[in-house]
């Protein structure tokens, strides 16, 4: 009697490439710093950032604020990235 071998099928899943990452150095204070406030441009995210900006100005003597938009679905343009590089700290809000 011939015993047929069992069929094999292929795995359809592509696993993500996970690269090790480290946190940026922490800041001691926001006094005298430039803070970036970035939203995904949805209504409530922008509203939350407005509140954050008011609070930050109340509590810290900021050097400046950069407002911007980000999307996890697209790569930032060079001019947008130059704005990011001006920031000492960034707060992201993600609304829907």
Partner 1 sequence: MPLKPLTSAQHEVEDLDAAIELYFQKGWTDGLPVVPPTEEKVARFIDAAGREPDEVIGLYPSRKRVVKVEKVAINAVMAGCLPEYFPVVLAIMEALTDPDFGLHGANASTGSMALGFIVNGPIRNQIGMNYRGNVMGPGNRANSTIGRAVRLTQINVMGSIAGAGNHVEKERTALDRSTMGQPAKYAGYHIVENEEDFPTMTPLQVELGYQREQSVVTVFPTSGHLQISAHTDNSGEAIVETIAHHLIGAGKVAARFAAVVLPPECMEHFVRDGWSKADIRKGIAESSTRTVAWAKQQGWAPTSGPIDRRGGEVLPGDDEKTINVGGKEHHIYVVSAGGPAGAFIHLLLPYGGGPISKVIRA
Residue 77 Cβ, how far from partner 1 at the closest point, in Å? 11
Question: Which of 21, 72, 78, 85 touches partner 1 (CB under 8 A)?
Answer: 72
How many Cβ atoms from other residues are within 10 Å of residue 37's Cβ? Answer: 21
18/93 Cα distance (integer angstroms):
24
Q: Which among 29, 56, 42, 94 is positioned nearest to 66, based on CA atoms?
A: 56
22 burial type by CB count under 10 A (0-12 exposed, 13-18 middle, 19+ buried): exposed
Question: Which of 1, 9, 23, 24 touches partner 1 (CB under 8 A)?
Answer: 9
Of 28-36, 37-45, 47-55, 78-86, which part binds partner 1 (CB under 8 A)?
A: 37-45
Question: Which of 19, 28, 58, 85 touches partner 1 (CB under 8 A)?
Answer: 19
Complex with partner 1: residue 25 or 73, whichever CB lies closer? 73
90 strand-pairing partners: 36
Residue 76 Cβ, how far from partner 1 at the closest point, in Å? 11
């Amino acid at each position: 009697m011939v015993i047929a071998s069992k069929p094999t099928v292929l795995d359809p899943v592509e696993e993500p490439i996970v690269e090790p990452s480290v946190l940026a150095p922490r800041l001691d204070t926001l006094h005298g710093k430039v803070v970036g406030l970035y939203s995904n441009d949805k209504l409530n995210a922008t509203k939350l950032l407005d509140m954050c900006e008011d609070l930050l100005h109340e509590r810290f003597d900021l050097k400046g604020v950069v407002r911007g938009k980000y999307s996890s679905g697209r790569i930032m343009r060079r001019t947008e990235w130059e704005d990011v590089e001006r920031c000492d700290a960034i707060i992201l809000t993600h609304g829907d």
